[in-house]
Each structure stands twice: as C-alpha cells, then as structure tokens.
Amino acid sequence: MSELVASTSETSAPARFASHTSTAGSEEDVSNPQHKLAPFNPTDISAQQAGVKLLGLKSEDVLYDLGCGDGRFLFTAFLSNPTMKALVGVEYDRVYYERCLATAKSIPPCKDKISFIHGDVLEVDLSEATCIFVYLVPEGLKQIEGKLHEFLGRGGTRIVSYMFSVPNLNPVEVVSTKGACKVQLYDSTSLPNKSS
Ligand SMILES: C[S@@+](CC[C@H](N)C(=O)[O-])C[C@H]1O[C@@H](n2cnc3c(N)ncnc32)[C@H](O)[C@@H]1O
C-alpha cells in the first residue's frame, strides 16, 4: 500500500474549496476498493463549527481527519485555533488530496501545521493523534471501529463523528446541526467497559 505524506508546501495549484460532490474515486486512488469508507460529501460549515467546538481544541492537540475530503474541516479547525500542535488529513482519492494541498497553499500560516497523507485510513498510524474527526458512512465506521476503540483505549482523548454513530461507543455529548444532522463527541469513558 503506497502512502505519501506531504507537507502543505508541495503544491502550486490555485486554492479553491470543492463545490460539488462525487461518488467516484480517481484513477490514482491508492486504496483497496474494499476500504471505501464513504463517498466524498463535505461537512457543511455549521456542522464543522459545532464539531470544532465539541473538540475544544488546545495547543497540545494533534487532530486527524480520517477521510478528509478537500480538508475543509481541518482548515476550519486550524483557523479556530492556530496554536494547535498539528493537524493531519488522510485521503485516498488523489483529486481531493490535491485540493487539500492547494487550499493549504492559500493559507500561509498553516504551512507548518497542516499536513496530508495520501493513503488509506485503515493503514494509517494514529499514535501521534490526540483527537479525531470522522465523517464516514455507517459501514465505513464499522470497518474502523477497532481502530477508533484502540485509539481511545491507549489514551486518545476524543473523537467527533458527524452524522453517524461510531459502533459500540456511547457518546458523551450530542449536538444537533442543520438539517436534522448531529455531531457526537466520544472520549475514553465512551468505551463499552468504561460506561456507567
Ligand atoms: C463523507 S467524506 C468527508 C470529507 C471530510 N472529512 C468532511 O467532513 O468534509 C469521506 C471522505 O473519505 C474518503 N475516504 C473513503 N474511504 C477512505 C479510505 N479508506 N482512506 C482514505 N480516505 C477515504 C473519501 O474519498 C471522502 O473524501
């Protein structure tokens, strides 16, 4: 499985957030098709802001977005607290990965803070992460359930999931967002053997 880690300074393409959705991967996808955890569908701004608020991001945080699309959640998170230690997006579709790089180039202050991995979420090492954002379909969340439980079990502090629930975790907070959607916060007390 190839995995490319890029700093945000690697691209010279113009910056622009995606304004359309697509369910098709590009020819240069790096993932196993069995690991398609969700089609691209961006989180709207009100849900991004609700997710950022729930995460309560601090200077020591390293935030991962697993399946980051065009990176918009990470850019919103960074702009909410530019003192964060690091933000990392994981995206297997080259088209969206390259949009992430292009947008990052247009926000110079994020150059040393935000990076993107062109790779498969299932293959990514989360040992540096302190908190995670996910927007994946239920079948996708099922595929990474073990990875997310392991993350919380080894000291990862919080996960925010937009729209769908992480299987077998009890949310500590649920916030309703536009269009009857929701963002849910999980922490180590969300694990099955830790809940009250
Ligand atoms: C619903 S979109 C969410 C995008 C972004 N997180 C947001 O909230 O705006 C899910 C994204 O996950 C990506 N994805 C799906 N399976 C993946 C995998 N196995 N590894 C990396 N990215 C994946 C898709 O290409 C898509 O961009």
Residue 19 has pLDDT above 60, yes or no: no
Tally Cβ neighbours within 10 Å of residue 34: 7
Q: Which residue's alpha carbon is at the smallest distance from atom 2 of ligand 1?
A: 40
Tally Cβ neighbours within 10 Å of residue 112: 11
Q: What does the alpha-carbon distance between residue 4 and residue 14 come to, in Å, rounded to a whole number? A: 21
* Residues spanned by the domain of 49: 4-14+27-190
Judge whether 21 lies within some domain: no
Average pLDDT, integer, range 157-184? 96
Specify the DSSP class assigned to residue 52: H
Residue type, 133: F
Judge whether 107 lies within some domain: yes
Residue 40 token pair? 């691209």
pLDDT of 87-136, one tens digit each? Answer: 999 999 999 999 999 999 999 999 899 999 999 999 999 999 999 999 99
Average pLDDT, integer, range 159-188? 96
Specify the DSSP class assigned to residue 85: S
pLDDT of 53-73, one tens digit each? Answer: 999 999 999 999 999 999 999
Residue 171 token pair? 């949310």
Judge whether 20 lies within some domain: no
**Which of 26, 63, 136, 139 maximizes ligand 1 atoms within 8 Å of its Cβ, making it the mutation to test the pocket?**
136
Judge whether 19 lies within some domain: no
**Which of 63, 99, 121, 184 maximizes ligand 1 atoms within 8 Å of its Cβ, making it the mutation to test the pocket?**
121
pLDDT of 22-58, one tens digit each? Answer: 333 444 455 555 689 999 999 999 999 999 999 999 9
Domain count along the chain:
1
Residue 93 token pair? 């579709």
pLDDT of 125-166, one tens digit each? Answer: 999 999 999 999 999 999 999 999 999 999 999 999 999 999
CATH assignment of the domain containing 103 = 3.40.50.150
Judge whether 137 lies within some domain: yes
Judge whether 22 lies within some domain: no
Judge whether 65 lies within some domain: yes
For CA atoms 91, 151, 64, 54, give the dihedral sign.
positive
Q: How confident is the model at residue 55, as a pLDDT? A: 98
Label the pairing between strands 62-66 and 131-134.
parallel
Judge whether 195 lies within some domain: no
